[in-house]
Amino acid sequence: MPRADFQPVIGLEVHAQLLTRTKLFSRASTSFGAEPNANTLPLCLALPGSLPVLNAAVVELAIRTGLALDCTVNEVSEWSRKHYFYADLPKGFQITQYEHPICEHGGLDVALPGGDKRIRISRIHIEEDAGKSVHDGAAGASLIDLNRAGTPLLEIVSEPDLRSAEEAAEYLRTLRGVLLALGVNDGNLEEGSFRCDANVSVMRHGATAYGTRVELKNLNSFRFVQAAIEVEIDRHVELIESGGAVEQETRLYDPDRNETKAMRSKEDAHDYRYFPEPDLPPLVVSAEAIAAARAALPELPRAKQRRYVSALGLSEADARFLTQEPGSSAFFEAVLQHYRGEAKKAANWMTGELARLRNASGEGRVTPGALAELLTAVDQGRISSNAAKEVLGVVHQSGEAPSAVIAARGLEQVSDTGAIEKVVDEVLAKNAADVAAYRGGNQKLLGHFMGQVMKAMKGKGNPQLASELLKKKLGG
Ligand code: ADP
Ligand code: MG
């Protein structure tokens, strides 16, 4: 088992598009889905004489992110030009932060099977995105769309602290959850507004130096991130075991073949001819702005999870499920505004039946108030939990009030003690021999009596009341 002799080492670079209305250095719109090149101003096209003007909203979002990820926010940071030629980069350089990024030295706690692990974050810097090349077969040409050119990105770089593909995927999920909670990014891997490059190397257990790393691109789902890292680890181990060496390069993941292939040899920083951006002064952030951002931080997913477990009695798994997206935790907390029963019950319904319906047929029309009403009806014995599932399915589709669905379908349980007692008496009278056997010690017959009572009541008797009455009468 050669693979067991090696320790994988992984560091991730995440590019997150910031949710600002306008671009990093111009007032051009960032709206998604506009006509190609509609969202461009002279700066996006690199027209002579156009100059960058920093969008203050970007800085605010970067500070918020840095604080949430436990970074030092630098009061002074700097802009650099990173040069390369590509058709979707008309300026011939990207404005980024190089030697002095806005945030450094942070960390993110990731919940792993063995407990929390802190993954250090080396830096977070602001940079502008490039445009897009559209390879249009119909036009027989490659076309350029500069709508994305100049869109603000945060690059969040982890230290090589991750030790497996699962850890890497979990770090990414956690980071995405934090960015969503902060409202700085929409977390969409498929559309590329949350992009990840994975740096992978292996070393023998006990080695003191890291192995040569490869940078993986084209990882646009959590599944691909994990699969690509796995196959890359295998490739390194096989190479080394067969006497070869890993080359430092950038590789593309091909999900159809589940393999990585060489894209280009890894460029070094000096290849980019970084130099200070002459058109922008250093970025200065006041201590007051940092303090204000700190005071305005929302409750983050990990803190929410801990609160759900300790104060509300949820399981760790349910707490995590409910805090993956801000919409889920907001829904859950809104249910608790209306529902007086156990929070754990509300959580069970959200992670169970409601999640099942949503997976099968989309978001649906269940409101927090409707779920609370349904749970209350179950608690009060007005409907059985099976009937509640039926009602939830209808409400999910139609958005009707649960009470209306319960009435229309005649799902209300009989919780009238007198009515149930009458049926119980009839059943016991008809089964004198079984009653004697029960009293003689055959306790299993209780289920048999219950079955008959429920059958006589067409399934609508409140089972708890029926069982209590049966036991009382049989015991007496
Ligand atoms: P570059 O600027 O060339 O991309 P960085 O030093 O910024 O290089 O590192 C980029 C990423 O690579 C970081 O996330 C870092 O954790 C990761 N990394 C560095 N060395 C290794 C290694 N030996 N194995 C795996 N990942 C690594
Ligand atoms: Mg890099």
> In this predicted model, what pLDDT tens digit does every residue of 344-355 receive, in sequence order?
999 999 999 999
**Closest ligand 1 atom, residue 123 Cα:** 7
> In this predicted model, what pLDDT tens digit does every residue of 27-77 receive, in sequence order?
999 998 899 999 999 999 999 999 999 999 999 999 999 999 999 999 999
Mean per-residue pLDDT over the chain, rounded: 94
User: Do 77 and 179 sit in the same domain of this protein?
Assistant: yes
Q: In which domain, by residue range, is 422 found? A: 417-474
User: Do 103 and 33 sit in the same domain of this protein?
Assistant: yes
User: Do 240 and 100 sit in the same domain of this protein?
Assistant: yes
Which ligand places an atom closest to the C-alpha of 269? 1
**Closest ligand 1 atom, residue 161 Cα:** 16
User: Do 267 and 306 sit in the same domain of this protein?
Assistant: no
User: Do 80 and 183 sit in the same domain of this protein?
Assistant: yes
Asked whether 213 lines ligand 1 (CB < 6 A), one says yes
Asked whether 12 lines ligand 1 (CB < 6 A), one says yes
Asked whether 159 lines ligand 1 (CB < 6 A), one says yes
Per-residue confidence band for 416, with pLDDT thresholds at 50, 70 and 90: confident
- Share of residues in the chain with pLDDT > 90 (%): 86
Per-residue confidence band for 402, with pLDDT thresholds at 50, 70 and 90: very high
Quick one: average pLDDT of 386-406? 95
pLDDT surpassing 90 at residue 334: yes
Q: Which of 308, 366, 316, 386 is nearest to 342 (CA)?
A: 308
Distance (angstroms) between ligand 2 centre and the Cα of 269 equals 9
- Per-residue pLDDT, 266: 73
pLDDT surpassing 60 at residue 337: yes
User: Do 166 and 52 sit in the same domain of this protein?
Assistant: yes
Crossing angle for the helix pair 445-456 and 417-430, to the nearest 10 degrees: 120
Distance (angstroms) between ligand 1 centre and the Cα of 160 equals 7
Distance (angstroms) between ligand 2 centre and the Cα of 199 equals 9
pLDDT surpassing 80 at residue 1: no
CA-nearest residue for atom 22, ligand 1, is 213
CB atoms within 10 A of CB 292: 12
User: Do 124 and 66 sit in the same domain of this protein?
Assistant: yes
Quick one: average pLDDT of 445-464? 88
> In this predicted model, what pLDDT tens digit does every residue of 369-391 receive, in sequence order?
999 999 999 998 889 888 999 99
pLDDT surpassing 70 at residue 101: yes
Q: Which of the listed residues 409, 436, 455 is the one where a domain comes to its end?
A: 409
Distance (angstroms) between ligand 1 centre and the Cα of 417 equals 71
CA-nearest residue for atom 15, ligand 1, is 11
Asked whether 157 lines ligand 1 (CB < 6 A), one says yes
- Per-residue pLDDT, 459: 78
- Per-residue pLDDT, 378: 93
Q: Are 39 and 27 in contact (CB under 8 A)?
A: no
- Per-residue pLDDT, 314: 97
User: Do 18 and 81 sit in the same domain of this protein?
Assistant: yes
Quick one: average pLDDT of 189-213? 95
Residue 395 to residue 155: CA distance in whole angstroms: 42
How many structural domains comprise the chain?
3
Asked whether 249 lines ligand 1 (CB < 6 A), one says no
Distance (angstroms) between ligand 1 centre and the Cα of 80 equals 20
pLDDT surpassing 60 at residue 367: yes
**At 440, which CATH number?**
1.10.10.410
Quick one: average pLDDT of 10-35? 96
Asked whether 160 lines ligand 1 (CB < 6 A), one says yes
Distance (angstroms) between ligand 2 centre and the Cα of 181 equals 26
User: Do 356 and 375 sit in the same domain of this protein?
Assistant: yes
b/e per residue, 311-333, with b = 16+ CB within 10 A? Answer: ebebeeebbbbbbbbbeebebbb
Asked whether 201 lines ligand 1 (CB < 6 A), one says yes
Quick one: average pLDDT of 195-224? 95
Distance (angstroms) between ligand 2 centre and the Cα of 94 equals 14
Asked whether 126 lines ligand 1 (CB < 6 A), one says no
Q: Which of the listed residues 290, 309, 324 is the one where a domain comes to its end?
A: 290
**Closest ligand 1 atom, residue 267 Cα:** 3
**Closest ligand 1 atom, residue 268 Cα:** 3
pLDDT surpassing 80 at residue 329: yes
User: Do 348 and 431 sit in the same domain of this protein?
Assistant: no
CA-nearest residue for atom 17, ligand 1, is 11
User: Do 17 and 153 sit in the same domain of this protein?
Assistant: yes
Quick one: average pLDDT of 79-104? 96
Task: Tell me the C-alpha to C-alpha distance, in Å, between residue 12 and each of 247, 248, 273.
Answer: 19, 16, 24
Distance (angstroms) between ligand 1 centre and the Cα of 399 equals 50
- Per-residue pLDDT, 476: 56
Asked whether 198 lines ligand 1 (CB < 6 A), one says no
Distance (angstroms) between ligand 2 centre and the Cα of 122 equals 12
Quick one: average pLDDT of 73-96? 96
pLDDT surpassing 60 at residue 162: yes
Q: Tell me the pTM.
A: 0.87
User: Do 47 and 162 sit in the same domain of this protein?
Assistant: yes
pLDDT surpassing 80 at residue 319: yes
> In this predicted model, what pLDDT tens digit does every residue of 264-297 receive, in sequence order?
887 777 789 999 999 999 999 999 999 999 999 9
Per-residue confidence band for 458, with pLDDT thresholds at 50, 70 and 90: confident
Distance (angstroms) between ligand 2 centre and the Cα of 14 equals 9
